[in-house]
Amino acid sequence: MLQILIQGRGGQGAQTAGNLLARTFFAEGKYVQTFATYGGARRGTPVNSFLLADDKPIRRRCSIERAGAILCFDDSLLPGLVSQFADQETLVVVNSRRSAEAYASLGDYKIITIDGIGIAQKNGMGRIINSALLGAFAGALGQPAMAKLLQVVEETAPVKKPENIASCQEAYELTQAALETRI
Tens digits of residue pLDDT in 93-149: 999 999 999 999 999 999 999 999 999 999 999 999 999 999 999 999 999 999 999
pLDDT in tens, 4-35: 999 999 888 888 999 999 999 999 999 999 98
Split at pLDDT 50, 70, 90, the class of 40 is low
**Beta-bridge partners for 114:** 95
Strand partners, 72: 7, 94
DSSP, residue by residue, 53-94: EESS-----S--SS-SEEEES-GGGHHHHHHHH--TT-EEEE
The pLDDT > 90 percentage for the chain reads: 80
Q: Report pLDDT for 145.
A: 97
Whole-number pLDDT of residue 173: 97
Q: Report pLDDT for 22.
A: 97
Would you state the pLDDT for residue 181? Answer: 82
AA letter at 83: S
Query: Residue 101: what pLDDT?
Result: 94
pLDDT at site 13: 86
CATH numeric code, 2-182:
3.40.920.10
* pLDDT above 70 for 41: no
pLDDT of residue 110: 93
Q: Which residue ranges make up each domain of the chain?
A: 2-182
Q: How confident is the model at residue 37 (pLDDT cuts 50, 70, 90)?
A: confident
Report pLDDT for 84.
Answer: 92
Q: Is the pLDDT of residue 36 over 80?
A: yes
